[in-house]
């Protein structure tokens, strides 16, 4: 006898939701629908870095993705060069993080998203569907959309981003579990490669490497994208008075005040000129979810930023989302009936939440080091060399096969307890 179909809704068609959809369309006993509030599935913003663990997790979901990443113009991070950008030691090389054997890639977000959406059947994607409420109707979950439509499912997976409505359903509407400012702002700009090279300096573009400039109160980064046609420039800085609407105009005064100890160094002046040229850039507050008591409630669960929005300092938010999708896909492919959904979601919570929390806390601490705010390390190049590189160890060393196995064993243990 064939298995009864289990109806699953994914809410949110960002990187997390679309990656999960790829994992779930392969599971024959699931009927999948993906709902996105915007009129199309797309990614805004500049580049996203995928560390080696994220690429391994993506391989588990989409084995052809290595090729697709090349099509999407991914650039290998052959090395990340960390340099001091402010103060008397400005220009001092701190270290090269050689990517030999285990390199990350940087890819333009829109191009990555295009490749992830490509395998999805059109009929499962419902754009212009904004979830407004979840109700429990007997054994079923009812979704009420802003456009008036109402649908029923056996399970709902919230991939609806940092200000997730599904999160409110799962963890309750308590302020301590909502996203809040992390203490930094940042701004980003994409510019043509030749322009960046002429303003910032030829010597910084000899290799396709990412440069990170550590300094007093701020951090500057630039990396090469899209087959050496574009460069992403990022400035991040300490934020003491977060604006309510999470953004402020990027003015010359703000940049000069932020980088007052950088102006004699090799990088700040060129970068400030580049950032001021468009005239309308904004500085965005970085927000994060500081605490999350659970990723699941009943047959509803969270993934991606809805579960664990983190600051971008360790480049791991998207990587976490891809790992989430790998684990959920694995667990849901091993259940047989809707009665086992809850065990799958509890097992997912058990293996994924500790990792999400560790990344959030580590990432905030890494930002403080990059902005020269760690009391013990300051801007001492020797201490930075000793204490900074190891912070990525726990992120990149994830054994994806073991992680899947741990999740499956957790689910089997829960199912066994439920029977007893
Ligand atoms: C500045 C910055 C730089 C970053 N750099 C990196 C990096 O280098 N590497 C890395 O791994 N990560 C990085 N991240 C993190 C990464 O971008 C995010 O973790 C990832 O994109 C989250 O994807 P998501 O799908 O969970 O959320 P989102 O991308 O926010 O997608 C959520 C989707 O849900 C939709 N939605 C929202 N509400 C509803 C609703 N009610 N109903 C239906 N749909 C809804 C939205 O329209 C959206 O399409 C960075 C983040 C930032 C802010």
For residue 184, is it within any domain?
A: no
Q: C-alpha distances in angstroms, 22 versus 46, 270, 271, 329, 382?
A: 23, 42, 39, 9, 45
Best mutation site among 49, 304, 316 for ligand 1 pocket (most ligand atoms within 8 Å of CB): 304
Ligand 1: centre distance to CA 304 (Å): 7
pLDDT of residue 99: 56
pLDDT of residue 19: 97
pLDDT of residue 98: 66
Mean pLDDT value across residues 323-348 = 97
Ligand 1: centre distance to CA 401 (Å): 25
For residue 152, is it within any domain?
A: yes
**Domain extent at residue 20:** 6-43+50-65+107-179+292-419
For residue 243, is it within any domain?
A: no
For residue 278, is it within any domain?
A: no
Count of structural domains within the chain: 1
* pLDDT tier for residue 73 given thresholds of 50, 70 and 90: confident
Pick 257 or 66 by higher pLDDT. 257
The residue behind tokens 């460069």 is: 231
Of residues 94, 52, 109, the one with CA closest to residue 77:
52
Q: What is the residue-averaged pLDDT of the chain?
A: 92
For residue 280, is it within any domain?
A: no
Residue 106's DSSP bridge partners are: 49, 75
> Using CA atoms, how far apart are residues 73 and 182, in angstroms rounded to an integer?
32
CB burial of 94-122 (b: ≥16 within 10 Å; e: otherwise) equals bbebebeeebbbbbbbebbbbbbbebbee
CB 78 within 8 A of CB 44: no
pLDDT of residue 74: 77
pLDDT of residue 224: 84
Coil, strand or helix at 257: helix
Mean pLDDT value across residues 194-202 = 94
Ligand 1: centre distance to CA 167 (Å): 14
For residue 238, is it within any domain?
A: no
Q: Which residues contact 42 (CB under 8 A, 6 or more apart)?
A: 110, 113
Ligand 1: centre distance to CA 15 (Å): 6
Q: Which residues contact 413 (CB under 8 A, 6 or more apart)?
A: none
Query: Edge-to-edge strand order for the sheet containing 210-214?
Result: 93-98, 79-84, 210-214, 218-225, 230-238, 180-192, 282-288, 247-249
pLDDT of residue 80: 82
User: Is residue 71 predicted with pLDDT exceeding 80?
Assistant: no
CB 283 within 8 A of CB 187: yes
162 Cα nearest atom in ligand 1: 30
Mean pLDDT value across residues 192-212 = 90
pLDDT tens, residue by residue, 349-399: 999 999 999 999 999 999 999 999 999 999 999 999 999 989 999 999 999
Task: Give the residues surrounding ligand 1 with Cβ less than 6 Å away.
Answer: 11-17, 35-38, 48-49, 130-131, 159-161, 165, 186, 304-305, 312, 315-319, 321
Any idea which of 1-10, 174-183, 256-265, 285-294 has the lowest mean pLDDT? 1-10
For residue 12, is it within any domain?
A: yes
CB 62 within 8 A of CB 70: no
Consecutive H or E run containing 190: strand 180-192
Question: Tell me, what CATH number does 367's domain have?
Answer: 3.50.50.60
pLDDT tens, residue by residue, 27-52: 999 999 999 999 998 877 677 889 99
pLDDT tens, residue by residue, 223-237: 887 778 889 899 999
What is the chain's Cα-based Rg?
22
> Is the sign of the CA dihedral 417, 299, 337, 303 positive or negative?
negative
41 Cα nearest atom in ligand 1: 49
Of residues 129, 142, 108, the one with CA closest to residue 15:
108
User: Is residue 183 predicted with pLDDT exceeding 80?
Assistant: yes
The residue behind tokens 């060129």 is: 270
pLDDT of residue 101: 57
For residue 337, is it within any domain?
A: yes
Q: In the numeric block, which tokens belong to residue 128? A: 């212009």
pLDDT tens, residue by residue, 279-292: 889 999 999 999 99
* pLDDT tier for residue 209 given thresholds of 50, 70 and 90: confident
Q: What is the number of H-type helices and E-type strands within the chain? A: 14, 20
pLDDT of residue 216: 96
């Amino acid at each position: 006898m064939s298995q009864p179909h289990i109806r699953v809704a994914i809410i949110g068609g960002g990187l997390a939701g679309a990656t999960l959809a790829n994992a779930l369309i392969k599971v024959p006993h699931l009927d999948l629908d993906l709902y996105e509030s915007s009129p199309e599935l797309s990614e805004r913003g500049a580049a996203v870095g995928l560390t080696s663990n994220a690429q391994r997790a993506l391989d588990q979901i989409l084995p052809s993705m290595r090729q697709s990443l090349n099509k999407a113009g991914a650039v290998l991070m052959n090395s990340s060069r960390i340099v001091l950008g402010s103060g008397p030691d400005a220009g001092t090389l701190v270290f090269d993080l050689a990517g030999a054997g285990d390199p990350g890639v940087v890819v333009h977000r829109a191009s990555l998203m295009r490749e992830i959406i490509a395998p999805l059947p059109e009929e499962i994607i419902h754009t212009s569907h904004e979830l407004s409420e979840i109700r429990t109707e007997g054994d079923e979950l009812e979704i009420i959309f802003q456009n008036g439509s109402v649908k029923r499912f056996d399970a709902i997976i919230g991939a609806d981003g940092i200000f997730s409505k599904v999160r409110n359903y799962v963890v309750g509407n308590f302020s301590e579990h909502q996203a809040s400012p992390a203490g930094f702002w940042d701004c980003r700009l994409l510019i043509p490669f030749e322009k960046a090279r002429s303003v910032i300096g030829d010597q910084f573009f000899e290799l396709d490497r990412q440069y990170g400039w550590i300094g007093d109160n701020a951090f500057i980064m630039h990396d090469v994208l899209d087959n050496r046609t574009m460069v992403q420039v990022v400035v991040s800085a300490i934020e003491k008075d977060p604006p309510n609407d999470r953004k402020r105009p990027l003015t010359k005064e703000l940049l000069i005040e932020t980088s007052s100890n950088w102006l004699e160094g090799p990088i700040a002046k060129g970068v400030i000129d580049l950032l001021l040229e468009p005239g309308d850039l904004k500085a965005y507050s970085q927000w994060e979810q500081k605490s999350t008591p659970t990723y699941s409630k009943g047959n509803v669960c969270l993934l991606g930023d809805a579960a664990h929005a983190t600051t971008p300092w360790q480049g791991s938010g998207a990587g976490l989302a891809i790992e989430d999708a790998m684990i959920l896909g694995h667990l849901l492919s091993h259940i047989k009936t809707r009665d086992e959904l809850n065990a799958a979601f509890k097992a997912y919570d058990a293996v994924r939440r500790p990792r999400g929390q560790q990344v959030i806390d580590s990432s905030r601490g890494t930002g403080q080091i990059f902005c020269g705010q760690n009391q013990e390390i300051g801007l001492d190049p020797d201490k930075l060399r000793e204490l900074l590189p190891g912070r990525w160890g726990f992120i990149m060393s994830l054994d994806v096969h073991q992680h899947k196995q741990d999740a499956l064993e957790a689910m089997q243990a829960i199912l066994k307890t439920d029977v007893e």
